[in-house]
Structure 1
Amino acid sequence: MQDLNGSHRSKSRTFGRWLIPACLSLTACDGPPDRTPALGDANAAEGRQLVTAKGCVACHTFPDVTWPRGGLGPSLEDFGRQGLIAGRLPNQPGVLMQFVRNAPGLVPGTAMPAILMTDQEARDVTAYLLTLKPR
């Protein structure tokens, strides 16, 4: 085998030259990086209060809210175990934070309105929703 400079190299040496970088690049192939915002400072108890204050209870039912109990939207009583948001989006914190603030932006045609809330409020509501699992 001859390289660009005209010198001869063995196949094994050339193969070894590419083998190590190829193996190292394979170790980095564990899927896309996690771009999920941290919920570390989220307060699920505050999120529970926000679903009432922001009007979510007018359309959805929640396990620990006795009134009002909306029936227009789906029950969220076991939302934390669902794989999808609105039957279309992965139920992941970053996606859910966006969805609770601007559902029509992510799922055009949805009946759920955009809801004015801060980033912290979206984190709190997300943390609360993800705690909703059957007991």
Structure 2
Amino acid sequence: MTGQVGIVLVSHSSPVAAAVAALARGLAGGGPCAPILPAGGTPDGGLGTSAELIAEAAEAADRGAGVALLVDLGSAVLTVKALLAEDGELPAGARLIDAPFVEGAVAALVTASAGGDLDAVEAAASEAYTYRKA
């Protein structure tokens, strides 16, 4: 694959997904960033997850090197897994990443922006589980 890894943040809340994307962009160093798009809530602005919003964000984030999908809670995981199981619903190379939502998003964006491939983005995001706060 060529291009840059895109990132989609799947949350039950549109404001949460948008805020985490903005935070990640702000902490990524100020230079050009890989695409990071929120896919939060339902189309009518409610709480929940939307396969349609996730698929649209993944398509928009796709730059040819895969799309890392980070999720917040249970049904977001199930929705992404269902999309991955349906051929053609998500871009080729789309992958559900097991990582903390906030810390993983920042690590994924920094790595993708530096040119890391999808495996490197996944490793960086997943490594965020080991960050100690005390």
What TM-score, normalized to structure 1? Answer: 0.28
Give the number of the structure whose alpha-carbon radius of gyration is greater: 1
Higher strand share: 2
What TM-score, normalized to structure 2? Answer: 0.28
